[in-house]
Amino acid sequence: MERNERTPIQELPYSSGLMSQSCWFVEFKKIVQLLADGKTEGEIRTECLENNLLGAVKEYRAKRVYGYLMARTKMLDRDGIRLFVNSDLSAQKLMNLVAILRGDRLFFEFVYEVYREKVMLGHIEMEDKDFNIFFRTKGEQSELVEKWNDSTKGHLKSNYTLCMIDAGLLRLDGRKRMITRPIVDNSLIWYLKDSGDQAILTAITGEV
């Protein structure tokens, strides 16, 4: 499968698409491994929909998850796919987050503008008010975001949190979201820099 040219994050429109998704790391890993094994998109579709590789209960659900995950894999070029399958679990989970951030401008801006700043300032907790201020600020900048209701923002807040926990940027301590600065493997650092994704690297590490 050809790896498509990515639209730069700053040129993407804001989207609430992540409210219908999840981190889906295990499922993402299965599809990336098939790509690394040289499977075509058609063959992967068959594995996912006819052989239920993703373990979905309903066919319509399998189709939706497959569509989301195939779009996410296209955020990884061939070097990214090779790095993913040869990395340890923590690096793979960070790469799943990288793929999500590459395709979602709003989530990227949350990690870059909110998470990164809190890391730099030495804050230890991500609070509800951090999400609320972020969405209010974006609503002032975008008519689309301004029109979203509280349910949409709540779903996004929940999925942002889950994706960041899975990637090791946050951990739960009771009901508190504690900030945990991830250790990024050197191979992933070099890959992100070579790919022109210094901003993503900065966002997830809190470093300049």
Question: Where are the chain's structural domains?
Answer: 101-205
pTM higher than 0.75, yes or no?
Answer: yes
Residue for token pair 């894999």 = 73
Q: Does the pLDDT at position 177 exceed 50?
A: yes
Residue 208 near residue 202 (C-beta atoms within 8 A): yes
Cβ-Cβ contacts under 8 Å for 134 (sequence gap 6 or more): 110, 113, 114
To which H or E segment does residue 125 belong?
A: strand 125-126
State the pLDDT confidence band at 207, using cuts at 50, 70 and 90: confident
Q: List, for residues 104-123, the tens digit of each pLDDT value.
A: 999 999 999 999 999 999 99
Contact 133, 184 (CB under 8 A): no
Share of the chain above pLDDT 90, in %: 89
Q: Judge whether residue 2 has pLDDT over 80.
A: no
Q: What is the pLDDT of residue 23?
A: 94
Number of residues in the chain: 208
**DSSP symbols for 132-168:** HHHHHHHHHH-HHHHH--HHHHHHHHHHHHHHHHHHT
H/E element, 176: strand 176-179
List, for residues 132-160, the tens digit of each pLDDT value: 999 999 999 999 999 999 999 999 999 99
Dist CA 124 CA 178 (whole Å): 6
